[in-house]
Amino acid sequence: MDKRIILYLIAGLLVLALLVLTFFPGIITAWKDSGAEGEDKCNPPVGGGYTEESWIEHMSHHPNIYAECLT
């Protein structure tokens, strides 16, 4: 009985992980980029494909993160 419960728990965790990755596909990128505090976040990232105008527009969608850049 205990082995069956453990098997169901593992299967449930796998299904949950697949659902999260399906409905939130950008979560991996956001998680990897979350520690990039050392960079100047007011300037477009190198190799990000942003122009100055598109970066300002992007920052305007996240005022809680880029508040000091938008003033």
Per-residue pLDDT reduced to its tens digit, 9-56: 999 999 999 998 888 877 776 666 665 555 678 888 877 788 999 999
Q: Are residues 2 and 28 in the same domain?
A: yes
Q: Are residues 26 and 6 in the same domain?
A: yes
Q: Are 41 and 34 in contact (CB under 8 A)?
A: no
Q: What is the pTM of this model?
A: 0.45
Q: Are residues 25 and 52 in the same domain?
A: no
- Between the CA atoms of 32, 37, 39 and 44, what dihedral angle is there, to the nearest 10 degrees? 70
**DSSP three-state, residue 16:** helix
Q: Are residues 47 and 70 in the same domain?
A: yes
- How many domains is the chain built from? 2
CA gap 57, 37 in Å, rounded? 20
**Structural domain harbouring 28:** 1-34
Q: Are residues 26 and 48 in the same domain?
A: no
CA gap 52, 47 in Å, rounded? 13
CA gap 20, 27 in Å, rounded? 9
